[in-house]
Structure 1
């Protein structure tokens, strides 16, 4: 827990720098239209920072901020891979660098998927490993910076594959601020803003941050079609009338030759044989 607190402190300090503030404002601007069009009862933000709430533009009333260390804005202290929340209970979930400062990012993603409601919205924010900012972070990690040495790079493509395996449907993704220059009025800052606007408009995959929007899909139970039971139709074959019983002429039934009983037939056969002898 002590190491986690150190990472939290380092990341919060980085976000307080001019460059971090510029990225934070750009991320808020990108999230605002998404949060304004998502509805539900519960919104949760999970991340490795206690000072960057990203849900201010949401209309959902119940908003919960979760982090591993206590803080003034933190409503619940918990690990991202062990959230004390019921399954299928969160309508909108914002994961701010939740997958990058953990030993098992896939386990964290499974936990986020567990607490999300069916058709719930998952918004994932991460550092793009294929950016100028990531190159700067790698150089600092090689120099011994504890924050960037603790980071696990998770690319957007890898994240989309994980979401697909979990049954989440990606609604879109964006790259933010490919030129990591702090806001200002100098010539370099103006050129960087123009370059960032052009790159974001064409969605070049070199932004400092990526934002992935996914929806949790749950396979519904398909009710099988009920086949109507129909009786097979009979073939149209006419049945003939039964043949009449032969009767003697004149209708005298008594004149018919009776069928002898078994004993009478044997006696008649013996008498006929004796006469022949």
Structure 2
């Protein structure tokens, strides 16, 4: 179990995970297509259970019970313009090159495809907490580099993706019991209704408007044989039966001989 997976198993993590699933489900209800992909380093927290898409790929660098594809997010073995919905669950937060990861996600996403990015807000109390965890040289949190909403929006614009909406969760960390806990939950619900920018986690929804951003031709040709094609291909139309002219001529001559 990774440190992020362990964090999500705690009470505060479970609360934020439930809120994330609810926000993601609101988009998935209207995101149709053939293929869905979720990436990230949290392997036991699938967010696509409410999706109407039947073919779902759960990709991670390490094996897990729910993982169906072992792959790095910055080099996905999938054809360009082949995935209808992509969920990036903290994928950018722990990437060595988050911009390259975003380019790769944009490449595999179909035009008009839906992109959901879940990330830690660096300008929040939770963002400060994750930064402090990184100072401890922890194997996972030390790699943590949150991408702000404003920077992410700029990157998406350059890649031809249009931001539709952003949901923010966890303005205040849950603490205490009883009346204090209920008060903190009410404050967090109030901040969500007013979409305040101080949430610890953001769920950004964008739609791809352009075709894939391809890599240099030579590099692309070297990888092409390794790519998995997901695009459904139409079946060949059946050829109508037409009797052979040679056979018809032979039958005509045989009939003349009988006469």
Range into which the TM-score falls when normalised by the shorter chain? 0.7 to 0.9
**Unaligned stretches of 5+ residues in structure 2:** 212-259
Length, aligned pairs only: 211
- TM-superposed CA distance for 1:208, in Å, is 1.0
Specify the alignment match of 2:23 in structure 1.
Answer: 30
Which consecutive aligned stretches of 4+ in structure 1 deviate over 6 angstroms post-superposition? none
Specify the alignment match of 1:40 in structure 2.
Answer: 33
- State the Cα RMSD in Å: 1.4
Specify the alignment match of 1:194 in structure 2.
Answer: 186
Specify the alignment match of 2:159 in structure 1.
Answer: 166
Query: 1-side partners of 2:129 and 2:90: how far apart?
Result: 17
**Unaligned stretches of 5+ residues in structure 1:** 1-7, 220-277
Query: 2-side partners of 1:91 and 1:97: how far apart?
Result: 19
- TM-superposed CA distance for 1:185, in Å, is 5.8
Specify the alignment match of 1:217 in structure 2.
Answer: 209
Query: 1-side partners of 2:36 and 2:65: how far apart?
Result: 18
What SS class does the counterpart of residue 19 from structure 1 fall into? helix
Bigger relative contact order (CA 8 A; separation at least 6): 2
Residue 204 of structure 1, aligned match among 175, 193, 196: 196
Query: 1-side partners of 2:210 and 2:139: how far apart?
Result: 40
1:152 counterpart = 2:145 = yes
1:88 counterpart = 2:81 = yes
- TM-superposed CA distance for 1:147, in Å, is 3.0
TM-score of the two chains, using structure 2 as the length reference: 0.78
Q: For residues 75-131 of structure 1, give each alpha carbon's deviation from its aligned partner in whole angstroms, at most 9, with x where no partner exists.
A: 000000000000000000000011111110000000000000010000000000011
The within-5 A match list for 1:235-254 is none
Query: 1-side partners of 2:92 and 2:125: how far apart?
Result: 20
The within-5 A match list for 1:72-151 is 72-151=65-144
Specify the alignment match of 1:272 in structure 2.
Answer: none
Query: 2-side partners of 1:175 and 1:46: how far apart?
Result: 20
- TM-superposed CA distance for 1:141, in Å, is 2.6
- TM-superposed CA distance for 1:198, in Å, is 1.0
Query: 2-side partners of 1:111 and 1:21: how far apart?
Result: 29
What SS class does the counterpart of residue 173 from structure 1 fall into? strand
What SS class does the counterpart of residue 137 from structure 1 fall into? helix
Q: For residues 16-67 of structure 1, give each alpha carbon's deviation from its aligned partner in whole angstroms, at most 9, with x where no partner exists.
A: 1111111101101111111111100001101111100000011111111000
Return the index of the structure with the highest Cα Rg.
1
What SS class does the counterpart of residue 63 from structure 1 fall into? strand
Query: 2-side partners of 1:90 and 1:117: how far apart?
Result: 6
CA contact (8 A) 2:111 2:209 kept: yes
